[in-house]
Amino acid sequence: MITTFTYSLTGATESGQANTFASINGKTYHIVRGYKLNDREIWLQIAGTTALRSSDLGANWEVAGSRGIHLAYVNRYFHYQSERADLQLAFVGNTTAGSRFLALWFMKRRFGFSYSDDELARLALFDHKNWKSFRYGTSYLEDFASQDPNKHAVLVDFPSFINQDIAVEFVADLMKPEGDSND
């Protein structure tokens, strides 16, 4: 079980921002970055002196890292090799643009797009309305730990992309100027 809490000591940090911590199986960690889906943590980057294990978090969690920095995630949201079409997948980059690039790169591989990585990187730089689109099943996950607006994860609900034509339309719409869509 994960219990998160925020602590702020006025003037103690340069930015004055609060620090977010997690209590996991009786151990306390500083959450560097974290993402929730439906009010449940699905991805955590944490720092602490005590080793974190998957068994501390419960079923479906994976943990990478050793003493110091750990990355913990619910594997069903990061199971990129699955052929199941009903998955929701999260893409976490170092920045929001990086997260968008990872999602596009994955779609390129899954649907056989012929775009170059440079073209995908260019598309990822712009916060097009499609990235928060019910039609395409794409949305952002906010970093609840750092609350940095430049560090969103991208969530793709792949049942929306079960038809390759929808995926092609999504990327084609990203390539159009913002006011140029058919909506």
Flag whether 41 is in a domain.
yes
Domain count, the chain: 2
Domain that holds residue 158: 88-180
Q: Are residues 67 and 94 in the same domain?
A: no
What Cα–Cα distance (Å) separates residue 141 from each residue in 7, 113, 138? Answer: 22, 25, 10
Q: Are residues 143 and 166 in the same domain?
A: yes
Tell me the average pLDDT across 78-105.
Answer: 89
Q: Are residues 106 and 164 in the same domain?
A: yes
CA torsion angle 16 20 21 22 (round to 10): 170
Mean residue pLDDT across the chain: 86
Flag whether 82 is in a domain.
no
Tell me the average pLDDT across 135-163.
Answer: 86
Flag whether 154 is in a domain.
yes
User: How far is 10 from 22, CA to CA, in rounded Å?
Assistant: 20
pLDDT at 147: 79
Flag whether 81 is in a domain.
no
Tell me the average pLDDT across 56-78.
Answer: 90
Flag whether 101 is in a domain.
yes
User: How far is 141 from 38, CA to CA, in rounded Å?
Assistant: 10
Tell me the average pLDDT across 70-83.
Answer: 88
